[in-house]
Structure 1
Amino acid sequence: MVRERILACAVELFAANGYDATSVQQVVARAGVTKGALYHYFGAKEDLLFEIYHSLLADQLARLDAIVARKADPATTLREIIRSLAETTSENSRAVAVFSREASRLDEERWQTLRAEWRRYQDTVRGIIRDAQESGVFAAYASPEVISWAIFGVNTSMPTWFRPDGPKKAVEIADELADFVLAGLRP
Protein backbone atom coordinates (compact mmCIF):
# COMPACT_ATOMS: atom_id res chain seq x y z
CA MET A 1 0.00 0.00 0.00
CA VAL A 2 2.79 2.45 0.89
CA ARG A 3 4.74 1.35 -2.16
CA GLU A 4 1.74 1.94 -4.45
CA ARG A 5 1.10 5.35 -2.87
CA ILE A 6 4.71 6.37 -3.48
CA LEU A 7 4.46 5.25 -7.10
CA ALA A 8 1.15 7.05 -7.62
CA CYS A 9 2.61 10.26 -6.23
CA ALA A 10 5.70 9.91 -8.40
CA VAL A 11 3.47 9.53 -11.47
CA GLU A 12 1.53 12.67 -10.53
CA LEU A 13 4.68 14.70 -9.97
CA PHE A 14 6.57 13.40 -13.00
CA ALA A 15 3.50 14.09 -15.15
CA ALA A 16 3.10 17.62 -13.83
CA ASN A 17 6.73 18.71 -13.47
CA GLY A 18 8.83 16.23 -15.44
CA TYR A 19 11.29 13.71 -14.09
CA ASP A 20 14.28 16.04 -13.82
CA ALA A 21 12.30 18.80 -12.08
CA THR A 22 10.86 16.43 -9.46
CA SER A 23 12.92 15.74 -6.37
CA VAL A 24 12.79 12.71 -4.12
CA GLN A 25 11.79 15.09 -1.33
CA GLN A 26 8.73 16.20 -3.33
CA VAL A 27 7.68 12.58 -3.84
CA VAL A 28 8.17 11.85 -0.14
CA ALA A 29 6.13 14.93 0.86
CA ARG A 30 3.30 14.14 -1.58
CA ALA A 31 3.16 10.50 -0.46
CA GLY A 32 3.27 11.44 3.23
CA VAL A 33 6.15 9.09 3.97
CA THR A 34 9.73 9.43 5.14
CA LYS A 35 12.74 9.20 2.84
CA GLY A 36 13.56 5.97 4.63
CA ALA A 37 10.21 4.54 3.60
CA LEU A 38 10.78 5.52 0.00
CA TYR A 39 14.28 4.04 0.00
CA HIS A 40 12.92 0.87 1.60
CA TYR A 41 10.98 0.24 -1.60
CA PHE A 42 13.07 2.09 -4.18
CA GLY A 43 16.84 2.41 -4.15
CA ALA A 44 16.90 5.55 -6.26
CA LYS A 45 14.69 8.03 -8.07
CA GLU A 46 15.36 6.16 -11.31
CA ASP A 47 13.80 3.05 -9.73
CA LEU A 48 10.54 4.97 -9.46
CA LEU A 49 10.58 5.76 -13.16
CA PHE A 50 11.42 2.16 -14.02
CA GLU A 51 8.71 0.73 -11.78
CA ILE A 52 6.03 3.08 -13.15
CA TYR A 53 6.16 1.30 -16.47
CA HIS A 54 7.44 -2.06 -15.29
CA SER A 55 4.39 -2.60 -13.10
CA LEU A 56 2.03 -1.67 -15.94
CA LEU A 57 3.88 -3.91 -18.36
CA ALA A 58 3.79 -6.78 -15.86
CA ASP A 59 0.01 -6.37 -15.59
CA GLN A 60 -0.34 -6.27 -19.38
CA LEU A 61 1.79 -9.41 -19.76
CA ALA A 62 -0.24 -11.24 -17.13
CA ARG A 63 -3.45 -10.31 -18.92
CA LEU A 64 -1.96 -11.35 -22.25
CA ASP A 65 -0.94 -14.72 -20.84
CA ALA A 66 -4.45 -15.25 -19.44
CA ILE A 67 -6.04 -14.38 -22.79
CA VAL A 68 -3.74 -16.73 -24.71
CA ALA A 69 -4.31 -19.51 -22.17
CA ARG A 70 -8.03 -19.51 -22.99
CA LYS A 71 -7.12 -20.90 -26.44
CA ALA A 72 -9.98 -19.09 -28.16
CA ASP A 73 -10.03 -18.66 -31.93
CA PRO A 74 -7.52 -16.10 -33.29
CA ALA A 75 -10.09 -13.36 -33.91
CA THR A 76 -11.48 -13.59 -30.39
CA THR A 77 -7.97 -13.72 -28.95
CA LEU A 78 -6.83 -10.66 -30.89
CA ARG A 79 -9.99 -8.75 -29.95
CA GLU A 80 -9.44 -9.51 -26.26
CA ILE A 81 -5.80 -8.44 -26.50
CA ILE A 82 -6.78 -5.13 -28.09
CA ARG A 83 -9.41 -4.59 -25.39
CA SER A 84 -6.93 -5.41 -22.64
CA LEU A 85 -4.36 -2.98 -24.04
CA ALA A 86 -6.91 -0.18 -24.38
CA GLU A 87 -8.24 -0.74 -20.87
CA THR A 88 -4.84 -0.86 -19.19
CA THR A 89 -3.53 2.08 -21.19
CA SER A 90 -6.56 4.26 -20.44
CA GLU A 91 -6.53 3.30 -16.76
CA ASN A 92 -2.83 4.19 -16.56
CA SER A 93 -2.67 7.02 -19.08
CA ARG A 94 -0.55 9.27 -16.88
CA ALA A 95 1.98 6.50 -16.29
CA VAL A 96 2.11 5.76 -20.03
CA ALA A 97 2.57 9.45 -20.81
CA VAL A 98 5.31 9.81 -18.19
CA PHE A 99 7.13 6.77 -19.50
CA SER A 100 6.83 7.89 -23.12
CA ARG A 101 8.29 11.26 -22.24
CA GLU A 102 10.91 10.17 -19.70
CA ALA A 103 12.08 6.69 -20.80
CA SER A 104 15.40 8.06 -22.03
CA ARG A 105 16.29 8.74 -18.39
CA LEU A 106 16.61 5.01 -17.66
CA ASP A 107 20.02 3.39 -17.58
CA GLU A 108 20.83 0.66 -20.11
CA GLU A 109 20.13 -2.27 -17.77
CA ARG A 110 16.64 -1.06 -16.83
CA TRP A 111 15.90 -0.16 -20.43
CA GLN A 112 16.93 -3.64 -21.61
CA THR A 113 14.70 -5.26 -18.99
CA LEU A 114 11.69 -3.33 -20.26
CA ARG A 115 12.62 -3.98 -23.88
CA ALA A 116 12.79 -7.73 -23.24
CA GLU A 117 9.36 -7.73 -21.59
CA TRP A 118 7.85 -5.60 -24.35
CA ARG A 119 9.47 -7.84 -26.97
CA ARG A 120 7.79 -10.88 -25.39
CA TYR A 121 4.45 -9.08 -25.60
CA GLN A 122 5.01 -8.15 -29.25
CA ASP A 123 6.26 -11.59 -30.21
CA THR A 124 3.21 -13.23 -28.64
CA VAL A 125 0.78 -10.99 -30.52
CA ARG A 126 2.70 -11.37 -33.76
CA GLY A 127 2.78 -15.14 -33.31
CA ILE A 128 -1.00 -15.25 -33.00
CA ILE A 129 -1.37 -13.21 -36.17
CA ARG A 130 1.32 -15.16 -38.06
CA ASP A 131 -0.15 -18.55 -37.09
CA ALA A 132 -3.63 -17.45 -38.17
CA GLN A 133 -2.26 -16.14 -41.46
CA GLU A 134 -0.34 -19.34 -42.14
CA SER A 135 -3.44 -21.45 -41.47
CA GLY A 136 -5.61 -19.26 -43.70
CA VAL A 137 -7.80 -17.95 -40.86
CA PHE A 138 -6.38 -14.42 -41.39
CA ALA A 139 -5.43 -12.88 -44.71
CA ALA A 140 -1.77 -12.04 -45.22
CA TYR A 141 -2.15 -8.62 -46.85
CA ALA A 142 0.12 -7.12 -44.21
CA SER A 143 2.84 -8.61 -42.04
CA PRO A 144 2.24 -9.43 -38.39
CA GLU A 145 4.74 -6.68 -37.56
CA VAL A 146 2.81 -3.94 -39.39
CA ILE A 147 -0.51 -5.12 -37.99
CA SER A 148 0.85 -5.16 -34.44
CA TRP A 149 2.48 -1.74 -34.87
CA ALA A 150 -0.93 -0.36 -35.83
CA ILE A 151 -2.50 -1.87 -32.72
CA PHE A 152 0.31 -0.80 -30.41
CA GLY A 153 0.55 2.67 -31.97
CA VAL A 154 -3.09 3.46 -31.30
CA ASN A 155 -2.75 2.27 -27.73
CA THR A 156 0.52 3.97 -26.84
CA SER A 157 -0.74 7.26 -28.23
CA MET A 158 -3.97 7.12 -26.17
CA PRO A 159 -2.68 9.45 -23.44
CA THR A 160 -2.44 12.23 -26.04
CA TRP A 161 -6.04 12.03 -27.26
CA PHE A 162 -8.21 9.78 -25.07
CA ARG A 163 -10.35 11.44 -22.40
CA PRO A 164 -12.19 9.28 -19.83
CA ASP A 165 -15.04 11.81 -19.85
CA GLY A 166 -15.11 11.91 -23.66
CA PRO A 167 -17.83 10.61 -25.95
CA LYS A 168 -16.44 7.04 -26.07
CA LYS A 169 -15.20 4.68 -23.40
CA ALA A 170 -11.88 2.92 -23.85
CA VAL A 171 -13.63 -0.39 -24.49
CA GLU A 172 -15.67 1.17 -27.31
CA ILE A 173 -12.51 2.47 -28.93
CA ALA A 174 -10.91 -0.94 -28.48
CA ASP A 175 -13.88 -2.63 -30.14
CA GLU A 176 -13.74 -0.22 -33.08
CA LEU A 177 -10.02 -0.82 -33.45
CA ALA A 178 -10.53 -4.58 -33.25
CA ASP A 179 -13.31 -4.40 -35.86
CA PHE A 180 -11.02 -2.40 -38.13
CA VAL A 181 -8.04 -4.74 -37.71
CA LEU A 182 -10.09 -7.91 -38.02
CA ALA A 183 -11.89 -6.61 -41.14
CA GLY A 184 -8.48 -6.14 -42.73
CA LEU A 185 -7.47 -9.68 -41.74
CA ARG A 186 -10.57 -11.33 -43.18
CA PRO A 187 -9.54 -13.78 -45.92
Structure 2
Amino acid sequence: MVLAGELFAEKGFRATTVREIADAAGILSGSLYHHFDSKESIGDEILQGFLNDVLADYRAAVDTGDDPRAVLETIVRTSTGTLARHRAALAMLQNDWTYFSGQPRFGYLRKALQEIEKIWITQFEEGKRAGVFRADLDAKLTYRLLRDILWIPVHWQPGNQWSTPQIVDAFLSLLFHGINEKP
Protein backbone atom coordinates (compact mmCIF):
# COMPACT_ATOMS: atom_id res chain seq x y z
CA MET A 1 0.00 0.00 0.00
CA VAL A 2 2.78 2.41 0.90
CA LEU A 3 4.61 1.74 -2.35
CA ALA A 4 1.46 2.24 -4.39
CA GLY A 5 0.74 5.50 -2.60
CA GLU A 6 4.25 6.76 -3.23
CA LEU A 7 4.00 5.90 -6.91
CA PHE A 8 0.59 7.56 -7.20
CA ALA A 9 1.96 10.67 -5.47
CA GLU A 10 5.07 10.78 -7.64
CA LYS A 11 3.71 9.84 -11.06
CA GLY A 12 0.03 10.59 -10.67
CA PHE A 13 -2.78 8.13 -10.16
CA ARG A 14 -3.74 7.79 -13.81
CA ALA A 15 -0.14 7.48 -15.02
CA THR A 16 0.78 4.71 -12.58
CA THR A 17 0.16 1.16 -13.74
CA VAL A 18 -0.57 -1.94 -11.71
CA ARG A 19 2.57 -3.44 -13.24
CA GLU A 20 4.67 -0.59 -11.83
CA ILE A 21 3.16 -1.10 -8.39
CA ALA A 22 3.85 -4.83 -8.54
CA ASP A 23 7.41 -4.26 -9.79
CA ALA A 24 8.08 -1.86 -6.92
CA ALA A 25 6.74 -4.45 -4.48
CA GLY A 26 8.78 -7.21 -6.10
CA ILE A 27 5.76 -9.32 -7.04
CA LEU A 28 3.92 -10.24 -10.20
CA SER A 29 1.18 -7.84 -11.23
CA GLY A 30 -1.37 -10.65 -11.15
CA SER A 31 -0.60 -11.14 -7.46
CA LEU A 32 -2.02 -7.71 -6.69
CA TYR A 33 -5.37 -8.83 -8.06
CA HIS A 34 -5.62 -11.38 -5.25
CA HIS A 35 -5.93 -8.44 -2.86
CA PHE A 36 -7.46 -5.71 -5.02
CA ASP A 37 -9.80 -5.97 -7.96
CA SER A 38 -8.41 -2.83 -9.61
CA LYS A 39 -6.02 0.08 -9.31
CA GLU A 40 -9.02 2.12 -8.17
CA SER A 41 -9.48 -0.23 -5.22
CA ILE A 42 -5.90 0.45 -4.17
CA GLY A 43 -6.58 4.17 -4.49
CA ASP A 44 -9.78 3.78 -2.45
CA GLU A 45 -7.95 2.14 0.41
CA ILE A 46 -5.28 4.84 0.50
CA LEU A 47 -7.72 7.75 0.25
CA GLN A 48 -10.33 6.32 2.61
CA GLY A 49 -7.70 5.64 5.27
CA PHE A 50 -6.50 9.22 5.03
CA LEU A 51 -9.95 10.82 5.15
CA ASN A 52 -11.12 8.51 7.94
CA ASP A 53 -8.14 9.59 10.06
CA VAL A 54 -8.68 13.29 9.33
CA LEU A 55 -12.39 13.12 10.11
CA ALA A 56 -11.83 11.10 13.29
CA ASP A 57 -9.40 13.78 14.53
CA TYR A 58 -11.74 16.64 13.57
CA ARG A 59 -14.79 15.03 15.14
CA ALA A 60 -12.84 14.31 18.33
CA ALA A 61 -11.76 17.97 18.48
CA VAL A 62 -15.35 19.16 18.12
CA ASP A 63 -16.59 16.60 20.66
CA THR A 64 -14.36 18.12 23.37
CA GLY A 65 -16.89 20.95 23.64
CA ASP A 66 -14.02 23.43 23.84
CA ASP A 67 -14.34 26.97 22.56
CA PRO A 68 -13.89 27.44 18.78
CA ARG A 69 -10.30 28.66 19.07
CA ALA A 70 -9.26 25.61 21.11
CA VAL A 71 -11.08 23.29 18.70
CA LEU A 72 -9.29 24.86 15.73
CA GLU A 73 -5.95 24.61 17.52
CA THR A 74 -6.57 20.91 18.15
CA ILE A 75 -7.58 20.44 14.51
CA VAL A 76 -4.38 22.11 13.30
CA ARG A 77 -2.17 20.09 15.65
CA THR A 78 -3.80 16.77 14.76
CA SER A 79 -4.01 17.60 11.06
CA THR A 80 -0.30 18.09 10.67
CA GLY A 81 0.45 14.68 12.09
CA THR A 82 -2.24 13.06 9.98
CA LEU A 83 -1.08 14.87 6.85
CA ALA A 84 2.50 13.79 7.51
CA ARG A 85 1.43 10.14 7.87
CA HIS A 86 -0.66 10.34 4.72
CA ARG A 87 1.58 12.45 2.45
CA ALA A 88 0.90 10.21 -0.54
CA ALA A 89 -2.88 10.37 -0.14
CA LEU A 90 -2.82 14.14 0.13
CA ALA A 91 -0.61 14.39 -2.96
CA MET A 92 -3.02 12.09 -4.77
CA LEU A 93 -5.94 14.36 -3.90
CA GLN A 94 -4.10 17.49 -4.89
CA ASN A 95 -2.58 16.15 -8.10
CA ASP A 96 -5.49 14.08 -9.39
CA TRP A 97 -8.56 15.82 -7.96
CA THR A 98 -10.00 16.41 -11.42
CA TYR A 99 -9.90 12.69 -12.15
CA PHE A 100 -11.21 11.55 -8.76
CA SER A 101 -14.01 14.14 -8.61
CA GLY A 102 -15.28 13.01 -12.00
CA GLN A 103 -15.57 9.34 -11.02
CA PRO A 104 -18.75 8.19 -9.24
CA ARG A 105 -16.67 5.56 -7.42
CA PHE A 106 -14.82 8.35 -5.60
CA GLY A 107 -17.95 10.31 -4.66
CA TYR A 108 -17.13 9.78 -0.98
CA LEU A 109 -14.18 12.16 -1.40
CA ARG A 110 -16.38 15.17 -2.07
CA LYS A 111 -18.66 14.23 0.84
CA ALA A 112 -15.71 13.90 3.25
CA LEU A 113 -14.14 17.16 2.09
CA GLN A 114 -17.48 18.92 2.53
CA GLU A 115 -17.70 17.64 6.11
CA ILE A 116 -14.16 18.84 6.79
CA GLU A 117 -15.01 22.28 5.40
CA LYS A 118 -18.25 22.41 7.42
CA ILE A 119 -16.37 21.67 10.65
CA TRP A 120 -13.94 24.55 10.06
CA ILE A 121 -16.65 26.99 8.98
CA THR A 122 -18.86 26.08 11.93
CA GLN A 123 -16.00 26.81 14.33
CA PHE A 124 -15.32 30.16 12.67
CA GLU A 125 -19.00 31.11 12.78
CA GLU A 126 -19.36 30.04 16.42
CA GLY A 127 -16.21 31.99 17.24
CA LYS A 128 -17.64 35.08 15.55
CA ARG A 129 -20.88 34.78 17.54
CA ALA A 130 -18.91 34.35 20.77
CA GLY A 131 -16.72 37.35 20.02
CA VAL A 132 -13.59 35.19 19.79
CA PHE A 133 -13.06 35.95 16.08
CA ARG A 134 -13.60 39.16 14.15
CA ALA A 135 -17.19 39.76 13.09
CA ASP A 136 -16.12 40.52 9.50
CA LEU A 137 -14.29 37.20 9.08
CA ASP A 138 -15.27 35.42 5.86
CA ALA A 139 -15.42 31.89 7.25
CA LYS A 140 -15.34 30.05 3.93
CA LEU A 141 -12.48 32.08 2.46
CA THR A 142 -10.52 31.79 5.70
CA TYR A 143 -11.02 28.03 5.72
CA ARG A 144 -9.81 27.70 2.12
CA LEU A 145 -6.71 29.80 2.79
CA LEU A 146 -5.84 27.96 5.98
CA ARG A 147 -6.46 24.53 4.46
CA ASP A 148 -4.07 25.28 1.64
CA ILE A 149 -1.45 26.62 4.03
CA LEU A 150 -1.73 23.46 6.14
CA TRP A 151 -1.27 21.30 3.05
CA ILE A 152 1.86 23.07 1.77
CA PRO A 153 4.44 21.63 4.22
CA VAL A 154 3.52 18.15 3.02
CA HIS A 155 5.40 18.98 -0.18
CA TRP A 156 8.50 20.25 1.59
CA GLN A 157 11.48 18.00 1.30
CA PRO A 158 12.26 15.75 4.27
CA GLY A 159 15.01 17.19 6.40
CA ASN A 160 13.95 20.80 5.97
CA GLN A 161 15.13 23.13 8.69
CA TRP A 162 11.83 23.17 10.63
CA SER A 163 10.29 20.34 12.58
CA THR A 164 6.58 19.62 12.37
CA PRO A 165 5.96 21.11 15.84
CA GLN A 166 7.81 24.29 14.82
CA ILE A 167 5.69 24.59 11.68
CA VAL A 168 2.49 24.05 13.67
CA ASP A 169 3.46 26.59 16.33
CA ALA A 170 4.36 29.17 13.66
CA PHE A 171 1.08 28.52 11.86
CA LEU A 172 -0.97 28.89 15.04
CA SER A 173 0.91 32.02 16.05
CA LEU A 174 0.25 33.57 12.66
CA LEU A 175 -3.39 32.48 12.76
CA PHE A 176 -4.20 33.73 16.24
CA HIS A 177 -1.74 36.58 16.72
CA GLY A 178 -0.95 37.83 13.20
CA ILE A 179 2.31 39.49 12.22
CA ASN A 180 1.68 42.99 13.59
CA GLU A 181 3.56 44.22 16.62
CA LYS A 182 1.07 44.76 19.42
CA PRO A 183 0.81 48.43 20.51
Structure 1 and Structure 2 fold alike (TM over 0.5): yes
The answer to whether the 8 Å contact 1:57/1:117 transfers is yes
CA change 1:105–1:50 in 2 (3 A) is farther
Displacement over 4 Å in runs of 4+: 32-37
- Stretch moving more, 111-120 or 133-142: 133-142
CA change 1:142–1:124 in 2 (3 A) is same
How far has the Cα of 1:174 moved from its partner?
1.6
1:29-178 alignment to 2 at 5 Å?
A: 29-33=23-27, 35=29, 38-106=32-100, 107-160=102-155, 162-178=156-172
In structure 2, distance between residues paired with 1:18 and 1:180: 33
In structure 1, distance between residues paired with 2:132 and 2:154: 33
In the alignment, what sits opposite 1:4?
Answer: none
- Percent identity (aligned): 25
Unaligned stretches of 5+ in structure 2? 179-183
1:11-60 Cα distance to aligned partner (Å, 9 max, x none)? 12223433334221222233345556533443211222233222111100
In structure 2, distance between residues paired with 1:54 and 1:82: 20
TM-score by length of 1: 0.82
TM-score by length of 2: 0.83
Unaligned stretches of 5+ in structure 1? 1-6
CA change 1:27–1:48 in 2 (3 A) is same
- Stretch moving more, 167-176 or 127-136: 167-176
In structure 2, distance between residues paired with 1:14 and 1:35: 16
The answer to whether the 8 Å contact 2:8/2:88 transfers is no
CA RMSD of aligned residues (A): 2.2
In structure 1, distance between residues paired with 2:31 and 2:73: 41
SS at match of 2:158: coil
CA change 1:136–1:31 in 2 (3 A) is same
